[in-house]
Amino acid sequence: MIDAPSPNHDERGVPVSMVVLHYTGMKTGAEALARLRDPAAKVSAHYMVEEDGRLYRLVPEERRAWHAGVAEWHGRRDVNAMSVGIEIVNPGHEFGYRDFPEVQMQTVLELLRQIRRRYDVAPENVVGHSDVAPDRKDDPGERFPWDRLAREALALAPWDGRAPDDVPEAPEALRRLARLGYGVEAFGSGPCVTAFQRRFAPTLLGEGLGRRTRAAIGAVTNR
């Protein structure tokens, strides 16, 4: 672990109950690290994981880092106060979105195991930035291997492709998304459906709230 302190933090005020995963979305990790430590940028995260697996610590976990912005999960708005924020280096959709290397994922997984030992974070509260800010954000994106996290119960598993016996109609599907944590009222149903697809059923990305997506929502929220 490499200490690379950022000045961009303040008091948390509430205990940690969430983890928010991001991609950096910049051309290089070095560029992202500089921005996350720049007082003028007013952004930060607790950790940044380089593509070669190096782990940087920017903000102590007991402080509130500034990574989520305007966000909501389970009706709660101060996502920064509740969460540990992890930036994962990847150029993202703007600069050449690519797979997350194995060595990078090993560091992410080990970090999540340690965080779980320290706090009582429920798997459903380990989320992507796009889950809590679906109107603005796409990260960590549809290539992020949530199944790797789910195998160790560090996060909910993606949809396994099986339809439930009862496929929910649209209103019920949206109620289920809200129960899962999505800010359907705050951000609208469209962005939340897209965020759900990105997170739980990437092969359905962009399909809207059709039968297959409703089946996926039903299956994920039935278990």
Catalytic residue status for 87: yes
Sign of CA dihedral 216, 174, 120, 202: positive
Which ranges of the chain does DSSP label H, i.e. alpha helix? 29-36, 79-82, 92-95, 102-118, 129-132, 146-150, 170-180, 184-187, 189-200, 211-222
Span of 42-50, 98-106, 133-141, 201-209 interacting with Zn ion by CB under 5 A = 133-141
For the bound state, the minimum distance from the C-beta of residue 189 to Zn ion, rounded and expressed in Å, comes to 22
Toward Zn ion, which CB reaches closer, 26 or 121?
A: 26
Rounded to the nearest 5°, which phi and psi values hold at 178? -65, -40
Which residues in the 78-97 window bind Zn ion by CB under 5 A?
A: none
Mask for 33-72, x = binds Zn ion (CB under 5 A): ----------------------------------------
For the bound state, the minimum distance from the C-beta of residue 123 to Zn ion, rounded and expressed in Å, comes to 20
DSSP-assigned beta bridge partners for residue 56: 2, 48
Q: Tell whether residue 22 is a contact of Zn ion (CB under 5 A).
A: yes
Q: Tell whether residue 129 is a contact of Zn ion (CB under 5 A).
A: yes
Q: Among 72, 87, 124, 185, which one carries the catalytic annotation?
A: 87
Span of 20-28, 45-53, 110-118, 162-170 interacting with Zn ion by CB under 5 A = 20-28
Mask for 135-174, x = binds Zn ion (CB under 5 A): ----x-----------------------------------
For the bound state, the minimum distance from the C-beta of residue 135 to Zn ion, rounded and expressed in Å, comes to 13
Q: Which residues contact 18 (CB under 8 A, 6 or more apart)?
A: 73, 79, 82, 83, 84, 121, 125, 126, 127
Sign of CA dihedral 151, 153, 157, 160: positive
Amino acid at 89: V
Q: Which residues contact 191 (CB under 8 A, 6 or more apart)?
A: 134, 135
Residues that bind Zn ion (CB under 5 A): 22, 129, 139
